Amino acid sequence: QSALTQPASVSGSPGQSITISCTGTSSDVGGFNYVSWYQQHPGKAPKLMIFDVTKRPSGVSNRFSGSKSGNTASLTISGLQAEDEADYYCSSYRSTNTWLFGGGTKVTVL
Amino acid sequence: EVQLVESGGGLVQPGGSLRLSCAASGFTFSSCDMHWVRQATGKGLEWVSTIVPAGDTYYPDSVKGRFTVSRENAKNSLYLHINSLRAEDTAVYYCARATGSSSWYTFDYWGQGTLVTVSS
């Protein structure tokens, strides 16, 4: 069960938009609409940002949005802010109550 | 307010065992799926177990046979028993919940984690 594939790092300037990809297979990302995205600041617990591919939990900024095409899901952060600098992880449901995470992407605000 | 508080981590010798605990409050614990996710220092997240309200349990192949998840609904508590500890089990262990109020397929709240270090 290999991890989902994410770019190691993505960077952008304040105000710009960035997109983080998360590539899996037809057995996980492509087979279910159950992709989530988590934000993790150093030394902190992960925080849910997007679930079920496109849904935002209450309290999460609408600058964060999710999408999926085939076996690749994406997280877009628009209007990048300094506080968005963090690690981001995708996860996908696979089957029979099993989950897979991506390797994580470090977002740097230039 | 939803709270998940892990405890039980520490320094353990290779081959030893450990029981981690997660105390839940602020929600109906007995109705939620509960999960354990670990993170080695500087590494990514790894799902390691799930227990549903009925008590069914699920594990990835990487830990099956060594990890046992359990719950005590009367005490709003989740546990993870780890046997035959290896150096590669060194990580921060988080408990997290899933509920139908958001999605059964996401981890919507996480604890702050407890560090397990396996070393002689």
Q: pLDDT-based confidence at B103, cuts 50/70/90?
A: confident
A107 falls in which pLDDT band (50, 70, 90)? very high
Nearest CA in chain B to A37: B106
What's the rounded Cα separation, in Å, for the pair A90 and A21? Answer: 9
Cβ-based interface (< 8 Å): residues of B facing A: 33, 35, 37, 44-47, 50, 52, 56, 58, 60-62, 94, 102-103, 105-113
Contact yes or no for A23/A29 (Cβ under 8 A): yes
Contact B45 A36 (CB under 8 A): no
State pLDDT tens for residues A50-62.
Answer: 999 999 999 999 9
User: How many whole angstroms separate alpha carbon B105 and alpha carbon B100?
Assistant: 9
Quick one: tokens of B111?
């604890």
Chain B residues in contact with A97 by the CB 8 A cut-off are: 33, 50, 52, 56, 58
Q: Return d(Cα A73, Cα A30) in angstroms, integer.
A: 9
User: Given pLDDT bands bounded at 50, 70 and 90, which one contains residue B46?
Assistant: very high
> Does the beta carbon of A3 lie under 8 angstroms from any beta carbon of chain B?
yes
Nearest to A52 among B46, B47, B105 (CB): B105
Minimal Cβ distance to A101: which of B47, B103, B112 = B47
Tens digits of per-residue pLDDT, B61-100? 999 999 999 999 999 999 999 999 999 999 999 999 998 8
Average pLDDT over residues B34-39: 98
d(Cα A89, Cα B67) in Å, to the nearest integer?
24
Q: Is the pLDDT of residue B105 over 70?
A: yes
User: Across the interface, do B35 and A99 touch by the CB < 8 Å criterion?
Assistant: yes
pLDDT for position A1: 61
Token pair of B75 as six digits: 């005490």
Tell me which residue has tokens 């029981």: B19
What mean pLDDT value characterizes chain A? 96
Residue with tokens 């849904």: A55
